[in-house]
Chain A
Amino acid sequence: MLFFESIRLALNTIRAQKLKSFFTLLGVCIGVMFLIAVVSIVEGMGRYMEQDLIGKLIGVNSFELRHRPNINMGDVDPSVWESYRRRPRLYHDDVAPVVDALPAGTRWAYVSDNSLPVSSRYSSGPRNAQISAVDGDFFAIRKFVIAEGRDFTPQELAMGTPVVIVGPDIVKRLFPGLSAIGRELKMGGLPYTVVGVLETQGSAFGLSFDNQVFAPWQSPVHRLLNRVPSIVDAVIIQVPTASQMTEAQERVRQVMRTRHKLRPGQPDNFSLQTSESALAFWNKLKRYLVLAGVALPAIGLVVGAIVIMNIMLVAVAERTREIGIRKALGARRVDIMSQFLIEAATLSTVGAAVGIALGVGLAKVIAAISPLPATVAPWSIVVGVALGAGVGIISGVYPASRASMLDPIAALRQE
């Protein structure tokens, strides 16, 4: 009951001295706010990475055969880079043997891509866009939905008809105010007819997924994409269920080792990239982000603790007479000690609560103005409250013990 008494006293103090309390609690408040916000963003990014971005780049239950991994956002050793650079490329002739070796029911596609200028009669000057030459079940594996128009026909894919499917950004830039379907755009001086427009894919980290042009691999555009026209950048393979991944990867590996004439014991000179290998990088990045997310608030909390300690020391000095009265009426040292500790903890927990509210708000704002879907982690709220109380108790120990050691007579004599 002394407990509730002390909490009530602390809340009264906050109410009576709003401005002072505001500054007292600022440090803890900001610390907890950043903790909640940063953790929310990291969680949101994580969810986005795991469920959205990686899926978009690689697709579910799928892997990519490449001469080297293209998702290398982590730190790659220079010697590894050197070995990547010396690897043989994949060629169009490799596709058929790989595809033939796959188990029945497996979907496949292959793609070459590059950034190239695209132009049209309806806009001034060429624009750079991501150009991909594709063949197979490319749109199905990547879960790209055609919003307007149609997919390539098997004939168009087989014959290399100069038709394209474009992202919404291309429509906006090359055909402002017009419908793109049936109209022409130019790549490498040759005309291509737009047959389909994709649904928007959004963007991540400032990179748009909508500034893309897709054409049949066999069309003339593939000559523009690589130094040697027959180079294929990736073969994409999607198995029906996750359990078939290893089997499919093993078959592809054996085909490629044979084609590259590797002896047993020699390492692979090609890569089988899965969403997991891409996620490994993300997990590494996440550790740094969480570290930053802890270090930043920690500074706020340390500052907050120092401020609270000072405020509590002032409170002890101002209330020396009260302490004397309480001691004269029978308060023991622990009673005085716990009164001031609880008061400090209450102060700081109130600060933490405000910080949590602001942090959740900040996360929501970031979610609203950026593509990151910030997700508030329940554990971060628990940690926030615990940190608040903890900072209060730690910063209250010294002032509270000073209060408890006061001599009652001297304290009573104070004006």
Chain B
Amino acid sequence: MSQSTEAEVGISTTAERQAVTSQPGATPGRDWVIVTRGIKREYDMGGEIVRALRGVDIAIRRNEYVAIMGPSGSGKSTLMNLIGCLDTPTAGEYWLNGNLVSSMKDDELARIRNKEIGFVFQTFNLLPRATALHNVELPLVYAGMSAKQRRETAAYALERVQLTSRMHHKPNELSGGQRQRVAIARALVNSPSILLADEPTGNLDSATSSEIMKVFEELAEQGQTVIMVTHEADIAAHARRVVALHDGQVSSDTRRERFVRENEHIIAAKK
């Protein structure tokens, strides 16, 4: 751990806009929830190889609140899917809580997704025919929790996002912001190590967006590790660290203060 003091997370150690995320000292373990080494994701499109990720080194500590930015097609979602164990890299290594997940089998990955990962999607991805409560219960079903305990735990998670009154409503009876809060409650219900959000405000208006960002803020303050993909600077400015992807590689990794300073004009224009 002594070497890692030099490579403080979130601080560029070299010049701007250079790939700087690699923390040679970041050893997979208790402090580092996520450590990747040279992960690549390539798609074989009938002979033509699409390189979505070209070797990404990223390390994220417990309790960090990280935004991932980058232009469309830069590989943000691909990276999120890998971190979320929905996908496995074609090369490189990925440790989650000190466990090498990049070589795990399908069912082990399912268990990790269930216990360690909470997903929030741009399109909410709630089951349309199930109530809010039932949607939130789903991860607990797959965790094998008893029905009664499930209900209590899910109700508590909905309380955390202030949706107790909408517990028995179906998704089509809820506003977009409420739907996303149900999704956040569902992501949190299993007390995951990391909360992953891929453009969580992409389908929401600005007022609702800031409402959702407030929820993320609170969770981060309570010590929840949050990783969020966005391509809006003002949304990214909520995070305490901003990682930029470009063409399948990390192009910058900055702390919030610096990011805000560099993007002041964009953020100000948005407000």
Q: Show the binding face of A for B, using Cβ within 8 Å.
A: 1-2, 5, 12, 321-322, 324-335, 408-409, 412
In the complex, the answer to whether A333 meets B106 with C-beta atoms within 8 Å is: yes
Nearest-CB residue, chain A, relative to B190: A330
Residues of chain B at interface, number, CB under 8 A: 26
13 A-B pairs (CB sep. < 8 Å):
A1-B146, A1-B147, A2-B141, A5-B141, A325-B138, A326-B142, A328-B84, A328-B113, A329-B114, A329-B186, A332-B142, A409-B87, A412-B86
Q: A331 contacts B142, CB within 8 Å?
A: yes
Q: Which of B13-21, B121-129, B157-165 makes up part of the contact surface? A: B121-129
Is the pair B127, A335 in contact by a Cβ cutoff of 8 Å?
A: no
Q: In residues 112-168 of chain B, which contact A (Cβ within 8 Å)?
A: 113-115, 119, 121, 125-127, 129, 138-139, 141-143, 146-147
Cβ-defined contact, A330 with B127, below 8 A: no
**What chain B residues lie within 8 Å of A331 (beta carbons)?**
110, 142
Alpha-carbon distance between A333 and B108 when the two chains are bound, in angstroms: 11
Enumerate chain A residues within 8 angstroms of B126, measured Cβ to Cβ.
325
Q: Tell me if B87 and A412 are in contact (CB < 8 A).
A: no
Q: Which residues of A contact B190 (CB under 8 A)?
A: 330
Measured in the bound complex, the distance between the Cα atoms of B110 and A165 in whole Å is 87
State the CA gap A336–B194 with chains docked (Å).
24
Given contacts A327-B110, A333-B107, contact A12 B129 (CB under 8 A): yes
Give Cα distance in the complex from A330 to B190, angstroms. 11
Q: Which residue in B114, B125, B146 is a CB contact (below 8 Å) of A330? A: B114
In the complex, are the beta carbons of A329 and B86 less than 8 A apart?
no
Q: Point out the residues of chain A lying under 8 angstroms from B121, CB to CB.
A: 412
If the complex has contacts A330-B115, A333-B107, are A1 and B86 also in contact, measured as CB distance less than 8 A?
Answer: no
Q: Say yes or no: A330 contacts B106, CB within 8 Å.
A: no
B142–A329 touching, CB < 8 Å: yes
With the chains together, A391 CA to B129 CA distance in Å? 27
Please report the C-alpha to C-alpha distance between residue A334 and residue B126 in the assembled complex, in whole angstroms: 22
Please, which residues of chain B bring their CB within 8 A of the CB of A327? 86, 110, 113
Q: Given A328-B86, A329-B119, check contact A321 B113 (CB 8 Å).
A: no
On whether the beta carbons of B115 and A321 are closer than 8 Å, the reply is no
Given contacts A1-B141, A322-B127, A329-B119, 17 further A-B contacts (CB under 8 A): A5-B141, A325-B127, A326-B142, A327-B86, A328-B86, A328-B119, A329-B142, A330-B110, A330-B113, A332-B107, A332-B110, A332-B111, A333-B107, A333-B110, A409-B81, A409-B86, A412-B86
A329 touching B113, Cβ below 8 Å: yes
Q: Which of A5, A329, A409, A412 has the most chain B CB atoms inside 10 A of its CB? A: A329
Q: CB-nearest residue of chain B relative to A16?
A: B129
B135 to chain A, nearest CB (A): 9
CA A145 to CA B141, docked complex, whole Å? 71
| Neighbouring B residues of A335 by C-beta, 8 Å | 110, 142
Chain B minimum-CB-distance residue to A329: B139
Residues of A within 8 A of B129 (CB): 12
B213 to chain A, nearest CB (A): 22
> How many Å from the CB of A199 to the closest CB on chain B?
65
Using Cβ atoms and an 8 Å threshold, which residues of chain A touch B146?
A: 1
- A330 with B81, Cβ < 8 A, contacts A1-B141, A1-B146, A2-B141 known: no
Mark interface residues in B81-96 (1 if CB within 8 Å of A CB, else 0).
1001011000000000
Residue of A nearest to B110 (CB): A332
Chain A residues whose CB sits within 8 angstroms of the CB of B110 once the complex forms? 327, 330-333, 335
For window 29-84 of B, CB contacts with A under 8 Å fall at: 81, 84
A239 to B19 Cα, complex, angstroms:
110
User: How far is it, in angstroms, between the C-alpha of A271 and the C-alpha of B141 when the chains are bound?
Assistant: 74
Considering the chains assembled together, what is the distance between the CA atoms of A79 and B228 in angstroms?
Answer: 93
Using Cβ atoms and an 8 Å threshold, which residues of chain B touch A332?
106-107, 110-111, 142
A330–B119 touching, CB < 8 Å: no
Docked complex Cα distance between A324 and B138 (Å): 13
Instruction: State A330–B142 Cα separation when bound (angstroms).
Output: 6
Chain A residues whose C-beta falls within 8 Å of the C-beta of B139 in the assembled complex: 329-330
One of A2, A322, A326, A408 near B86 (C-beta < 8 A): A408
In the assembled complex, the CB of B142 is this many whole angstroms from the nearest CB of chain A, namely: 4
Of B111, B113, B143, most buried by chain A (CB within 10 Å of CB) is B113
A325 touching B125 by the CB < 8 A rule? yes
In the complex, the chain B residue whose C-beta lies closest to that of A412 is B125
A332 to B139, CA, bound (A): 11
- B104 CB to closest chain A CB, in angstroms? 13
Closest B residue to A2 by beta carbon equals: B141
Bound CA–CA A324/B81 (angstroms): 12
B113 cross-chain contacts in A, Cβ below 8 A: 327-330
Q: Which 8 A-B pairs have the closest CB atoms?
A: A330-B114, A330-B142, A332-B110, A329-B139, A330-B113, A332-B107, A408-B86, A325-B125
Q: How far apart are the CA atoms of A230 and B139 in the complex, in Å?
A: 94
C-alpha gap A409/B111 in the complex (Å):
16
